[in-house]
């Protein structure tokens, strides 16, 4: 059975996309609707900073088509607390609120841990994740380098697989491949961490930090297209988000990746992305 692939960017309200994926002069209130006809998912970073009101969630649902999915980040007041377990009730309430407002537009919830959250917090992490509802797919992003040591990585992967929680795969290799690029200086806040492919849960979430220059993306995007093709044939659901330190370039890079997927027979369930520029 074939899987499902969702492709999108980290934001939709970026004015630098006027003349690129939004016609020049488009008012901001139309950005989400137009975005959802270019991509079929978005990484909702805004929920990391503030919990949206129900009326805003309803509006997001109304402005997107039936195949569109939001991947929302858990608020930082929960994920970046000293300990997670005491925040489990707040996390449950957040998930329930997102479900009530977005309904079937809610694709997944992901937890991004701070770089300071190391494997020394392992019991706390287990307790927290074990008590989150499974009515919406969940994913976890770790950033402390010790999580990538072989023994810790195996332990985490085994636990997440048992819990049917995806591990967020953060790929910053393209931007770190060009250390002399002055356009990226000071903007490289994403960590340089290893990328490991393991047996995933039924869903996978990839955050791909692309380079403005397509030449630095070529090899990595081809590798990702091969990997996603394999997951797709296994019936997995994949969320692939294209970031860029210079956000103006994200849609172009996403379009290129869409073309690579199409070459492998994977079509994105939204209208073909058209760039105005």
Nearest residue to 6 (alpha-carbon basis) of 53, 41, 57: 41
CATH of the domain spanning 4-263, picked from 3.20.20.410, 3.30.360.10, 3.40.190.10, 3.30.1490.20: 3.20.20.410
Give me the pLDDT at residue 191, please.
86
User: For residue 30, how many C-alpha atoms fall within 13 Å in the half-sphere facing its CB?
Assistant: 10
* Rg of the chain, C-alpha, whole Å: 18
The enclosing H or E element of 123 equals helix 122-130
| Average pLDDT of the residues in 3-11 | 94
β-bridge pairing 106-112 and 237-243: unpaired
Q: Which of 88-97, 122-131, 186-195, 214-223 has the lowest mean pLDDT?
A: 186-195
Tokens of 65: 């088509």
- Range name among 70-74, 116-120, 213-217 with the lowest pLDDT average: 213-217
Per-residue pLDDT, 51: 95
Tell me the per-residue pLDDT of 184-225, one tens digit each, with 9 for 90 and over: 655 457 888 989 877 667 799 999 999 999 899 999 999 999
Q: Is the pLDDT of residue 271 over 70?
A: no
Q: Which pair of structure tokens corresponds to residue 119?
A: 């494997």
What's the rounded Cα separation, in Å, for the pair 253 and 123?
A: 39
Residue 267 in this model has a pLDDT that exceeds 90: no
pLDDT of residue 274: 64
In a 3-state reduction of DSSP, which class is residue 160?
helix
Q: Per-residue confidence at 2, pLDDT binned at 50, 70, 90?
A: confident
Percent of the chain whose pLDDT exceeds 70 = 93
pLDDT value for 260: 95
In this structure, the number of other CB atoms found within 10 A of the CB of residue 29 comes to 10
Summarize the confidence of residues 267-271 as an average pLDDT: 74
Strands lying side by side in the sheet with 169-171: 166-167, 138-141, 106-112, 69-73, 41-44, 4-9, 237-243, 203-209, 169-171
**Strands, E, within the chain: which ranges?**
4-9, 41-44, 69-73, 106-112, 138-141, 166-167, 169-171, 203-209, 237-243
Cα 238 from Cα 235, distance rounded (Å):
10
Q: pLDDT band for 275, please (50, 70, 90 cuts).
A: low
**Of residues 258 and 178, more confidently modeled:** 258
- The model's pLDDT over 30-44, given as tens digits with 9 standing for 90+, comes to 999 999 999 999 998
Q: What is the pLDDT of residue 121?
A: 97
Q: What pLDDT score was predicted for residue 141?
A: 96
């Amino acid at each position: 059975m074939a899987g499902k692939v969702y492709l999108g960017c980290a934001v939709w309200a970026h004015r630098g996309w006027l003349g690129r994926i939004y016609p020049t002069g488009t008012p901001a209130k139309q950005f989400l609707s137009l975005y959802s006809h270019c991509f079929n998912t978005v990484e909702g970073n805004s929920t990391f900073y503030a919990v949206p009101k129900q009326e805003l969630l309803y509006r997001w649902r109304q402005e997107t088509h039936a195949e569109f999915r939001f991947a929302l980040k858990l608020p930082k007041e929960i994920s970046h607390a000293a300990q997670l377990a005491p925040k489990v009730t707040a996390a449950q309430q957040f998930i329930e609120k997102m479900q009530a407002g977005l309904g079937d537009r809610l694709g997944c919830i992901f937890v991004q841990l701070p770089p300071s959250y190391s494997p020394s917090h392992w019991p706390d992490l287990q307790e927290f994740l074990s008590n989150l509802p499974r009515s919406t797919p969940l994913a976890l992003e770790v950033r402390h380098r010790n999580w990538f040591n072989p023994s810790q990585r195996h332990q985490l992967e085994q636990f997440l697989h048992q819990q049917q929680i995806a591990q967020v795969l953060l790929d910053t290799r393209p931007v770190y491949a060009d250390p002399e690029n002055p356009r990226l200086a000071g903007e490289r806040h994403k960590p340089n961490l290893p990328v490991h492919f393991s047996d995933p849960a039924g869903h996978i979430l990839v955050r791909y930090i692309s380079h403005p220059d397509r030449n630095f993306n070529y090899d990595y995007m081809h590798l990702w297209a091969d990997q996603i093709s394999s997951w797709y044939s296994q019936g997995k659901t994949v969320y692939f988000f294209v970031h860029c330190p210079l956000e103006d370039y994200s849609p172009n890079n996403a379009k290129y990746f869409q073309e690579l997927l199409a070459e492998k027979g994977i079509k994105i369930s939204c209208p073909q992305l058209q760039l105005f520029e």
